[in-house]
Amino acid sequence: SVDLRPTFRRIVRNGSTEQFSATPYIYSLLNCLVCMWYALPFVSYGVVLVATVNTIGAAFQLAYTAVFIAYADAKKRLKVSVLLAGVFCVFGLIVYVSMALFDHKPRRTFVGYLSVASLIFMFASPLSIINLVIRTKSVEYMPFYLSLSMSLMSMSFFAYGALLDDFFIYVPNGIGTVLGVMQLLLYAYYSRKGSRDEARRPLLVTHT
């Protein structure tokens, strides 16, 4: 896995979330919970790897979100706390509805489509900061490590889903691969552009 700690080290060091967004981590948490539920024997058989990875992923995303809440200003803290509560309410509702209203086979289909939707939202969530990147012409607040880790994860699970011939795994992860590559290309473009602009600046400015 890719280390996401640099962003949070900076938040802790500066005592502020600055212009970083918690949205990608909130979406990632919801996605991990939904995909974990899909992979458990209550819903699917033979995808233990998906359950294991998403259980660990949910724990990490929850920890990252807790750090964000701890260092955010009052307005952001309230917003993220409400979103976090919403994630657990939505997940609880999904578990209840899938168990109460569906037998095993239709339950797998129901939760499978929800996991597809949550995966696509998760892969697209870092795009929410693209407007800031384009406006400021800076990738300072773009979650590079999150985008990179999701790209690598989506490529791996696309291959895994294809081997299992599981539509609900390979389709969203194929889309995630495309979105991840788009984000990394954007990061590379603005990083290089920023480096060129920095190189053009005079090393010494004199005033006469």
Helices 104-124 and 167-200: crossing angle in degrees, nearest 10, is 10
Q: What distance in Å separates the CA atoms of residue 146 and residue 23, rounded to the nearest whole number? A: 12
Q: What is the pLDDT of residue 185?
A: 84
Closest residue by Cα to residue 166 from 128, 132, 134, 119: 119
The model carries a pTM of 0.72
Q: How high is the mean pLDDT of the chain?
A: 80
Helix (H/G/I), strand (E/B), else coil: 30: helix
Distance of CA 114 to the CA centre of its chain: 16
Residues 168-206 pLDDT 10s: 888 888 988 888 888 788 888 888 765 555 445 444 444
- CA distance linking residue 196 with residue 194, whole number of Å: 5
Instruction: Tell me how far apart the alpha carbons of residues 110 and 28 are, in angstroms, rounded to a whole number.
Output: 20
Question: Which DSSP helix (H) or strand (E) runs through 14?
Answer: helix 5-14
Domains defined along the chain, listed by start: 1-101 (no CATH), 104-207 (1.20.1280.290)
Instruction: Using alpha carbons, list the distances in angstroms from residue 51 to 41, 92, 116.
Output: 10, 17, 15
- pLDDT tens digits for range 21-71: 777 788 889 988 999 999 999 998 878 888 898 899 899 889 888 888 888
Query: In this predicted model, what pLDDT tens digit does every residue of 77-94 receive, in sequence order?
Result: 899 899 999 999 999 999
Q: pLDDT tens-digit profile of 30-42? A: 988 999 999 999 9
Q: What is the share, in percent, of the chain residues with pLDDT greater than 70?
A: 81
